Structure 1
Amino acid sequence: MSILDRFHAQIRLGGREDEPAPGIVIDRDGPVRRRYPEVPGTSYCMIECPEGLGDDPDRWIARQVEFFTTRGEQVEWKTYSYDAPADLTDRLRAAGFVPEDDETLLLGDTAGLVHDVVLPEGVVVRQVDTEPDLARIEELMRTIWGSGRDDGSLAREMAANPDALDVVVVEESPEGPVLCAGWLRYTPGTDFASMWGGSTLPHWRRRGLYRATVAHRAALALARGYRSMRLDTSPDSRPILERLGLQAVATTTPYVLDARA
């Protein structure tokens, strides 16, 4: 079985209805698989349809629009380049979902990501879990991506289920700004962990900071027994990860419906 087949079977088809995280609902509405918090607004919401949408796709799309609009939440419909129907993305646009940037799905062995990285003098990588450190990460995200990222979602996710993720930062001191940050999410009962974040202050890029977070997170995943890694990557980080042995297997595009207003 190829690594893409394992990913599709374990992550996309696995469902994990039998092992929901505390405060998180994982359910199905017909062919649609959903993840959302019991209390609206306390964690992220995700939709996908790994088995396709059957003979009446617009019906299932409309049901998700109604469901998340009633809850007043923002939800991401995660599409993959091999999803059915072939015109799924056109139907999502027609229903009010807005596409974000395409990313490349990379898969590979976790062990290959563990490597030595020489950081600039005085710079260290550290695992964090406190509210002040998570607030510093939010400040990094605001600096890089703008005020729209100031939503506290990472802190809420950590509070809801601290065993489901590990967060690392690169910094010069715990009192100063975070120079780079990334986090690692675990999917219990599967081979796969996944890396997220990976944002670096512009004047600190190309100095090994992102690679240091990759190596550190991979070591954490290996310690927990996760032998495979998955990432949705931008053009900036993809070459680094491919050099470490990950494979590009598909394109993934998030389609977002924001019903918070």
Structure 2
Amino acid sequence: MTPDALLAAYDDQLRREGEVGTADDVLTRGPLMWAVFDHGGFVTYRDLGGIEGDALDALIEETVAHFRDGTTVESFEWKSRGHDLPEDLGDRLVAHGFEAEPRETVMIGEAALLAVDVPLADGVVVRRVGEGGDLRDDVTRMLAAQESVFGGGRGPSVDSALAELARGDSESWIAEVDGQVVCGGRLTVVPGTEFAGIWGGSTLPEFRGRGIYRALVAARARSAVARGVTYIHSDCTDMSRPILERSGLQAVTTTTPYVWHR
């Protein structure tokens, strides 16, 4: 498939309902869906339907008021994409108190292309959480490792992560060295679509460059293929993008989270 065809499938299948299926509460306002998760709020949409200028400012103000006055979240994310219109959306969000987080690249490709065998150095173990270890302990250690890389306060709680695993459409995988979690990530199948996402892939700095991240991607891809998934998508950093490109994923757009804090 061409990047344009993959992007069309991404927009059609993964935006709006595809991003808020596990939310605690969802409200619709115009083209937007306002969602509340246990770790914060989230704004998604297929597109803005031509809204721009003063009308867009009013919609942004209403969104801020909703999360500020109608919820208890400490922060919420408006997830923009590089092909969203109007082009000044980011500037308008910043003018309303949002902070832009680092831009990432949206990658999509065939799951089977990632489901390869990756040789690992002696002492490195890649496994699904709960298999060969205590589930809660595995999840706790995985989240702690991820927070040490990404920073705290944005990811799910241990109980939320366990609840997501219990629903059956999500898996978490870890890589360990001498019993220490050095890399972790999730696989989330999106019900009703051809997609699964790979999320949270993070390797401790001192263990990078050893093929551990790629092995964790491959393990999740093999599981996705076994589940009947056709496409894998991921929001990736500049560090992980070359690994995914070598595996056959294509860049289709970018994504920039704009975050509002109390």
- TM bucket normalised to smaller: 0.7 to 0.9
1:174-193 matches, within 5 Å, as 176-193=179-196
Stretch moving more, 54-63 or 207-216:
54-63
Flag the 1:152–1:52 CA change in 2: closer, same or farther, 3 A: closer
1:6-155 matches, within 5 Å, as 6-12=9-15, 15=17, 20-21=21-22, 24-37=24-37, 42-52=38-48, 54-55=51-52, 56-70=55-69, 71-73=71-73, 74-129=75-130, 130-145=135-150, 148-149=151-152, 153-155=156-158
SS of corresponding position for 2:10: helix
TM-score (norm 2): 0.87
Correspondence for 1:240: 243
Shift of 1:106: 0.6
Is the 1:50–1:83 Cα contact (8 Å) retained in structure 2? no
Say how many residue pairs are matched: 248
SS of corresponding position for 2:229: coil
Deviation track 1:96-119 (CA, whole Å, cap 9, x = no partner) reads 110000111111111101111111
Shift of 1:43: 3.8
Shift of 1:183: 0.9
Shift of 1:49: 3.1
Shift of 1:229: 0.8
SS of corresponding position for 2:126: strand
Q: For residues 116 and 21 of structure 2, what CA distance do their matches in structure 1 show?
A: 33
| 1:249 maps onto 2:252 in alignment | yes
Deviation track 1:173-226 (CA, whole Å, cap 9, x = no partner) reads 4xx321111111221000111111111111211111001110011111112221
Flag the 1:43–1:139 CA change in 2: closer, same or farther, 3 A: closer
Runs of 4 or more off by more than 6 Å in structure 1?
Answer: none
Flag the 1:27–1:109 CA change in 2: closer, same or farther, 3 A: farther
Q: For residues 11 and 155 of structure 2, what CA distance do their matches in structure 1 show?
A: 30
Deviation track 1:214-252 (CA, whole Å, cap 9, x = no partner) reads 001111111222110111111100011001100011111
Q: For residues 215 and 179 of structure 1, what CA distance do their matches in structure 2 show?
A: 16
TM-score (norm 1): 0.87
SS of corresponding position for 2:9: helix
Q: For residues 88 and 12 of structure 2, what CA distance do their matches in structure 1 show?
A: 23
SS of corresponding position for 1:2: helix
Flag the 1:154–1:206 CA change in 2: closer, same or farther, 3 A: farther
Flag the 1:248–1:20 CA change in 2: closer, same or farther, 3 A: closer
Q: For residues 56 and 190 of structure 2, what CA distance do their matches in structure 1 show?
A: 28
SS of corresponding position for 1:161: helix
Q: 2:163 aligns with which of 160, 164, 188?
A: 160
Flag the 1:220–1:34 CA change in 2: closer, same or farther, 3 A: farther
SS of corresponding position for 2:234: strand
Q: For residues 151 and 95 of structure 1, what CA distance do their matches in structure 2 show?
A: 21
